[in-house]
Amino acid sequence: MLNNRVPDKVHPKTAATSLNVAAAKYYLKVMIVLIKAGVDLNAQDVDRLTPLHEATHWGQKACCRILCDNLANMALSSYAGQTYSNLADPEVLPP
């Protein structure tokens, strides 16, 4: 373990992590387990999308809340220069 983080196997082509997938698919219980285990909340895939980008893109409000409550970096941008808030429906954004 480096920096108290659990190593996560990434997809060989997309570099998506298990947390990226869980955030996009609304797997709340999986997200909670992964976060408690110490996975990197800010891991970026080949497009530099984070789990927070994925959750906002797919409209997963509860997933966004979990990530924000656990201090996911909201300032990270994708290769296209988009932060999570650029991808989100205003109803999904935290207050």
Q: Hey, what domains does the chain have and what are their CATH numbers?
A: 18-87 (1.25.40.20)
Residue 68 corresponds to which tokens in the numbers above?
A: 């924000």
pLDDT at position 7 is: 74
| Mean pLDDT in order along the chain per 10 residues (95 residues) | 66 90 96 95 95 93 95 95 84 61
Alpha-carbon distances of 14 from 10, 61, 75, 92, rounded to whole Å: 8, 24, 21, 25
| Confidence (pLDDT) at 2 | 46
What is the pTM assigned to this prediction?
A: 0.85
